[in-house]
């Protein structure tokens, strides 16, 4: 049984919702799945004034525990075409894991969100991939076998690099059904590959 960590940062709740869909997909394979988040770096009064979703229940992860999992699926909203500082800061603390090769051969995957349809979703995931490869991880995306990312019937996130959602400029759009299905598919896909590698 693969042990999967869904590790995310979510300011307004969109990525949080996607994270639980990813976890649901991974669990459907029989994997042991944990959902955790990285620490918030914004002072609480600023977060409240900015209407951050501060009632998230996922526990805070620690850097050293990353070595305990067969796969880590990272989630973060897009900030100027790359992952949010909170997730980047967390990943930048993995130097000792890198030096010891603790993440070599583990599966790494990513999902994201942006305010607009072309707001940097692909660049965010593509920008994270070199980091995962430096850590020695095996990168897994969202293959076109998930046909929900095809077609022009509706505006939707998703690419072969990973699941994504579009939030709207004011954050009012929540992940659509097809975007949540993409997240579930990615979670299951990663878990299956992680189980094969772990065996």
DSSP 60: B
DSSP state letters, 3-27: EEEEEEE-SSSHHHHHHHHHHHHHH
User: Which residues are annotated as part of the binding site for NAD(+)?
Assistant: 12
The span from the first CA to the last CA of the chain, in angstroms, equals 9
**Cα angle vertex 13, ends 180, 9, to 5°?**
95
User: Which residues are annotated as part of the binding site?
Assistant: 10-15, 78-80, 98, 134
User: Which residues are annotated as part of the binding site for FMN?
Assistant: 10-15, 78-80, 134
User: Which residues are annotated as part of the binding site for substrate?
Assistant: 98
3-state secondary structure of 76: strand
């Amino acid at each position: 049984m693969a042990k999967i960590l869904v590790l995310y940062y979510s300011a307004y709740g969109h990525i949080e919702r996607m994270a639980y869909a990813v976890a649901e997909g991974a669990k459907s394979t029989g994997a042991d799945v944990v959902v955790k988040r990285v620490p918030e770096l914004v002072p609480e009064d600023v977060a409240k004034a900015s209407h951050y979703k501060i009632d998230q229940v996922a526990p805070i992860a620690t850097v050293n525990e990353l070595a305990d999992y067969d796969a880590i699926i990272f989630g973060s909203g897009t900030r100027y075409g790359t992952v949010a500082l909170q997730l980047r800061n967390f990943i930048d603390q993995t130097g000792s894991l890198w030096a010891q090769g603790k993440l070599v051969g583990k599966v790494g995957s990513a999902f994201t969100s942006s305010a607009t349809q072309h707001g940097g979703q692909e660049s965010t995931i593509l920008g994270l991939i070199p980091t995962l490869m430096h850590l020695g991880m095996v990168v897994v995306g969202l293959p076109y076998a998930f046909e929900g990312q095809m077609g022009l019937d509706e505006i939707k996130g998703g690419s072969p690099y990973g699941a994504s959602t579009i939030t709207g400029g004011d954050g009012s759009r929540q992940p659509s059904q097809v975007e949540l299905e993409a997240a579930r598919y990615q979670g299951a896909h990663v878990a299956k590959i992680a189980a094969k590698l772990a065996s």
